[in-house]
Every structure is written in C-alpha cells, then in structure tokens.
Amino acid sequence: MNKAAIASLLASVILLASCASTVPGQTRAASASSQTPAPFTLLRRGVNLGNCLEAPNEGDWGFKVQQAWFKAIKDAGFDHVRIPICWSAHAAAEPPYAIDAAFLQRVDDIVGWALAQNLAVILDLHNYPEYCADPKGQRQRLYGIWENLAEHFRDMPENVLFEPLNEPNGAADACFNEDAAELIKIIRKTNPDRWIVVDGVHWSNLPNITSMKLPKDDRLIASVHMYEPIKFTHQGAEWMDGYDKYLGTKWEGSGQEKRQVDDLLNIAANMGKKLGVPVYIGEFGAYSKGDHDSRVRWTDYVARQCEARGMAWGYWEFCAGFGVYDSVAKQYDKSLLKALIPE
C-alpha cells in the first residue's frame, strides 16, 4: 500500500470510529470528562407552548393547544417545541401517583401532532410549587410521577426529551442537585438513551447555573432562563409584584446593555464546558406590555448571542402574553418572528 492509500484508510477508520458514537441527525454530547462538548444539533431554535398545559387545567389560562399550530411553528423555521405541563395537577396524591388517563391521552395526541411536523418535543414538568416549598414532603411524589411518565413515553423517538422540573426554587434550591440525580436514575431505568434537560436552581436564573452538579451521563442538557434585564422583560407583568412601575423601560441595545446579556450568556456557556454538556436557554422573552421595538431588539440580540455560543434556545412563548403568534388572527408578529428567525 502506498502512503496515500494508507492515509485514506486511516481517515476512514477515524471517520468510522467517530460515527460509531453518534446517532443519525445529531451529535452526542461529549462525556463529562471532556472540556469541549461536540456541537449539539437536536435542538436549535424552539418555542414554548406557554399558558396552555401548565395551567391547572388546559384552557384555564385562556389557551388550548391546537393541531394547526404545529404546522405554523414548523413553517416559520422553528425545530422544536417545549411543552410546559402541570403534571402534578393530573396525578394521584397517593402512590403509585397514577396520571389521569384522559390527560395522558391528550398529551399523547399533542406530541403526535408535533412529531408529525418533524418538531422535537421537550416534555417539561412545569409548576409544582408544592415540591419547591416542601421537597421533603413531595419528593417521593415527584419521583413517582416521573417513574410513570418515563414508563409511558419510553418508546417515543429520541427527539422527545424530558425536563424533570421547570425552575426549581424556594426550599428546592438546596436539594435539587441531589433530587435531579435521583430523577435521572429513575428515568434511566426505562429510558437509557433519552436526552434529559436539567434546570438550574433559583428559577433557572442566571448566574445560578454555577451551582449545578450533574451525575456522569452523556445525555444531559443544562438549562437556564434568560430574562435580564428583568425590569425590562417583565414590566407590567401581572404576576410580578410592583412591576407596573417599570412600564416604559426600553432596551436600546447600548454597549452596556449588550454587555449585561453577553456576561450572563458567557457564564452559561462556560458552565456548559465545565460540566461537559450542551446548554439550552429554555426560556427567554419580553412581555407584550413593553415597547415593541425594544422587545424586537432584545429578542434578536439574545437569540443571536445564544447561537454565537452554540446554545439552543426556546422562546417564551408562542401565543399568550409574550407571544410571537396571534392564535385568533392566525398570524405571526412579523418583526418579532424575524428577530427570532432572521432568514
């Protein structure tokens, strides 16, 4: 064999070896020991179906998921949906914490609609304040709910991901590293290869991701939410005490404003490298009571800066108070959509 033939054979062996550790359509995250995770392509640009299934009952907060949305989401250029779900409102109080069958069927249908459009899906357990207030008292129930969900969704394709708890907070801040590790163990019994999204403590706010600890597992994603500056993004939000006084706050995209975003996203990106996992900005958005041009500027800047750091994002949210889509007129807010997906 001449030199060129040997070189070509060597190249094929290296290529084969690298393919063996990947699955079609995506690149596996590097193991926890690596400092430079391989690019993660399963998620890139997504949108949260907020204010639907994370209400105690779907419709309580004004929105029910519609099948037609998924085509609109796909056509706009998003590649995934994050579905916040208040599973705790649909699970029994006593072991084995059975999940209401009709509700499960409803979620199955919705997941099917998303997959039919070739959208990846994050099943996010959202709004379990009882656990955050009393982890000791509610921990077994959270574990039981996930044991049931993991069993139920075990045969789903790999582009269905699990997120065990949105925005841990309160008393859960002190124990979520350990509880998340246990939840991962429970999920792994039935879903050895499922991608699992783990939220940072204290409402998934940056910079609290720096306290995240993850068990050794090569299919984990670290998630944080980016709502800074909060007085801009949440001005006038009814659920934020006293935030009416920030109405009129603009985001001009000054050097200082951009630096604040950059610094926070750098913390997230660096922590991902340290943990050896991809980072997902699972929520970011600015409430509709703010100045529209500012919202567009901020959204565009945050999205591009996440992308520049190789971090996937999920806009908060599709069609409610932060919405990029008007579900009655069946139309996108064109400038906000362009801020998210410029092409």
Residues binding ligand GLC (CB under 6 A): 126, 167, 283, 316
Position with the least CB separation from ligand GLC: 283
Minimum Å gap between C-beta 115 and ligand GLC is 24
Q: How far apart are CA 239 and CA 183, in angstroms?
A: 29
Report the alpha-carbon distance of residue 159 to residue 168 in Å, rounded.
Answer: 24
Nearer to ligand GLC, 6 or 230 (CB): 230
Dist. CA 47–CA 82, nearest whole Å = 6
| Cβ closest to ligand GLC, residue 179 vs residue 283 | 283
Distance of closest approach, residue 61 Cβ to ligand GLC, in angstroms: 9
C-alpha distances (whole Å) from 338 to each of 109, 196, 324, 341 are 30, 29, 10, 5
Between 276 and 290, name the residue whose CB sits nearer to ligand GLC: 290
Coil vs helix vs strand at 145:
helix
Shortest distance, CB of residue 155 to ligand GLC, whole angstroms?
A: 29
Q: How many CB atoms lie within 10 A of CB 241?
A: 7
Rg (the chain; Cα; Å): 20
**Token output for 29:** 């995250």
Question: Of 126 and 295, which CB lies nearer to ligand GLC in the complex structure?
Answer: 126
Please identify, using beta-carbon distances, which residue of 98 and 240 lies nearer to ligand GLC: 240
> In the bound complex, what is the minimum distance in angstroms from residue 225's beta carbon to ligand GLC?
7
For 295, the token pair is: 């919202």
121 three-class SS: strand
User: Tokens 């204010």 belong to which residue?
Assistant: 51
Token pair in block for residue 286: 């600015």
Q: How far is the CB of 316 from ligand GLC (least distance, A)?
A: 6
Closest to ligand GLC by CB, 217 or 283 = 283
Residue with tokens 């969900």: 149
CB of 4 to ligand GLC, least distance (A): 57
Q: Give the pair of three-digit tokens for residue 110.
A: 């919705």
Residue with smaller CB distance to ligand GLC, 89 or 98 = 89
Q: CB of residue 98 vs ligand GLC: minimum separation in angstroms?
A: 25
The distance of closest approach from Cβ of residue 78 to ligand GLC in the complex, given in angstroms and rounded to an integer, is 18
Strand partners, 313: 45, 281
How far apart are alpha carbons 228 and 257 in whole angstroms? 10
Cα first-last separation, the chain: 48
Give the nearest distance from C-beta 320 to ligand GLC in angstroms.
Answer: 8
Closest by CA to 229, choosing from 208, 206, 196, is 206
Q: Measured from the CB atom, is 58 or 167 closer to ligand GLC?
A: 167
Answer whether 183's CB lies under 8 Å from 147's CB.
no
| Cβ-contact 282, 314 below 8 angstroms | yes
Q: For 313, what's the count of Cα atoms within 13 Å in the CB-facing half-sphere?
A: 27
Residue 147 vs 283, nearer CB to ligand GLC: 283
